[in-house]
Amino acid sequence: KAVELAKKHNTRLHILHISTAKEIALFNNDIPLKDKKITAEACIHHLWFSDQDYASKGNFIKWNPAVKTANDRDQILKAVLDGHIDVIATDHAPHTIEEKSQPYTSAPSGGPLVQHALQALLDMVKAGKMTLEQLVQKSAHNTATLFQIEDRGYIREGYWADLVLVDLNKPYTVSKANILSKCGWSPFEGHTFSSTIEHTLVSGKLAFSNGQLIEKGAGERLLFNR
């Protein structure tokens, strides 16, 4: 209904958290992103998990909208790569382990995804599911273009230095000992990623290095060209 109304009135609409293959038909890929009125987003968990993972992960992959079938997951990835879906996001929601350990119907939806989002996408690159260029486009370039963020999203002279230095050949196993989110858990626990985040710069300041957060006010206000 929302998409129909947006088309009828030629208004701007951004749809979050695409979780089914059926939704993809609502969007087009025949015009440049900057000219689109209706855009869409896919989340890491809908690109990674499927309903086959509920048996082992249970509440820890409970999201709203829910993780669906392997076919939905694969079609969403295809739509990301062919331009029907414009950006990749995390929907980071770090509920406590106590909250997520409740019975399924009582446990909140959502989970912590910021820390391991890039590593998950880099695993997809290594598996041949996307290229490094597509990863950067969908998680950085398109985000800046879509929301008209000023001086970010690209490596360009005069832009803020939001950079990540990655060792692509250094495996990293997720465990409670290296989870940085205060909630203390991750849906990726036990998984070994093919890469390791070595350093992160935010607004030109070192914010993460060798497994440790550097909390010294690296953040800066986002500005928008609109």
Active-site residues, by number, are 91
Find how far residue 117's CA is from the centre of its chain: 6
Pairing state between β 212-213 and 205-209: antiparallel
With a CB cutoff of 8 Å and minimum separation 6, the contacts of 96 are 183, 184
Residue type, 178: N
| Residue 13: Cβ-neighbour burial (10 angstroms; 0-12, 13-18, 19+) | middle
Q: What is the largest CA-CA distance in the chain?
A: 52
- CA 8, 10, 15, 21 dihedral sign is positive
- Cα dist. 46→27, 56, 170, 226 in Å? 17, 16, 25, 31
With a CB cutoff of 8 Å and minimum separation 6, the contacts of 192 are 171, 172, 173, 174
Find how far residue 3's CA is from the centre of its chain: 23
